[in-house]
Amino acid sequence: MLTLFLEKRMRWIFFLVAATIGLTLDLGTKEWAFSQKELHSSWAAAYPVIPDWFDIQLSENAGAAWGLFSGKHTFFMVISIVAFIAIVYFVHTANEKARAAPTVLGLIFAGVLGNFWDRTVFGVVRDFLAVHTPETGTVHDFFEKTLGHTHWPTFNVADMCITCGAVCLVVIFWRDDRGEKASPAAPAAGPAAAPPPGEAAQPVGAPVGAEAPAPASIPAPSPLEGGAPGPSSQPGTP
């Protein structure tokens, strides 16, 4: 009984585990980063984790990614609530045996909730992860020519959960759609039709149009095999 109960709700278990892990990592890393005193000495100060590539740098974002729609606090709150409802609906309507999609939706839910918490409590989203290229070199020149910049806006773990989750969700839908097109359901084979009266059944594996074998003739029993006596065996015959 317990096993059956868990199987029917396994998609919710995967969803809640992923959401809990993602939200814990997001809020925990934010609290750690914004509690570092050396970073508060200068708001633009950066602590290099991987020199020339990755830094810890505090930032407060009142908009979306790349600082878009800055100051649209109410708009983002409404969008977050709509996202919560949509994600819960998709998990509820998912197949009971689904595992990947509920897990990915849990990560997206964690990311949306983490930034929603920041906007509710602090009025802004707390970012602290900064990625950039070295100041010189081939990689720097490539991004400078193609994108026009080599430093990206700061982000947080919640942004990573949303972005990675969205990409994984697209891959899952693409894989499922490709699998359905590659293996269409074959029609069920019905029972074999009986042959017309007086016609022998076609042997299995015989080529179409081949004549069915004629039924074997049964020879008449001979006298030696216990059959009826012949004229020569009647009494009184010389």
Q: Is residue 56 part of a domain?
A: yes
Each residue of 24-70: pLDDT tens digit?
A: 999 999 999 988 766 666 656 778 889 888 988 888 888 876 667 77
Structure tokens, 25: 């990592």
159 in active site: yes
Cα 67 to chain centroid distance, Å, stands at 31
177 in active site: no
Q: Is residue 132 part of a domain?
A: yes
Find residue 60's DSSP bridge partners.
Answer: 126
Q: Is 152 exposed, middle or buried (0-12, 13-18, 19+ CB in 10 A)?
A: middle
Domain count of the fold of the chain: 1
Name the packing angle between helices 100-121 and 73-93 (round to 10°).
160
Q: Considering the candidates 118, 159, 176, 177, report the single residue annotated as catalytic.
A: 159
Q: Is residue 237 part of a domain?
A: no
- The residue segments making up the domain with residue 174 are 2-182
Q: Is residue 202 part of a domain?
A: no
Q: Considering the candidates 118, 127, 176, 177, report the single residue annotated as catalytic.
A: 127
Please report the pLDDT score of residue 163 as a whole number. Answer: 93
Find residue 47's DSSP bridge partners.
Answer: 56
Half-sphere exposure of 221 (CA within 13 A, CB side): 7
Which H or E element spans position 38? helix 37-40
Each residue of 145-179: pLDDT tens digit?
A: 887 777 788 899 999 999 999 999 999 988 877 77
Q: Is residue 83 part of a domain?
A: yes
Q: Is residue 36 part of a domain?
A: yes
